[in-house]
Amino acid sequence: MMPANWGYVIAAYGIAAVALFGYWRRLARRARALTARPAAKARAA
């Protein structure tokens, strides 16, 4: 059997977690910016 190689497992899951969490943050930020824009427009009017 091969050695445990936990470092590779942690690296793969870690990079995937960063990518997925980063994408989720990006979506959340973009959604906040888009929903804030009409509200700011309405306040200005």
Partner 1 sequence: MTRVLGWLAVLGLLAGLAAGFGYAPSEAVQGNVQRIMYLHVPSVLTAYLAFGLVLIGSIAYLATRRPGWDRLAGSAGELGVLFTGITIVSGSIWGKPTWGTWWTWDARLTSTAVLFCVYVGYLLLRSLIEDPDARARYAAVVGILGAVNIPIVHFSVKWWRALHQPSTILGPEPSPIDPAIGLALFVNWIAFTLLFAYFLSRRMEIARLEGET
Distance CA 17, CA 19 (A): 5
Least Å distance, CB 27 to partner 1, is 5
Q: Round to the nearest angstrom and report the end-to-end CA distance of the chain.
A: 70
Please tell me whether residue 40 binds partner 1 under the rule CB under 8 A: no
Of 25, 27, 43, 45, the residue at the interface with partner 1 (CB under 8 A) is 27
Sign of CA dihedral 14, 17, 21, 23: positive
Please tell me whether residue 39 binds partner 1 under the rule CB under 8 A: no
Least Å distance, CB 28 to partner 1, is 8
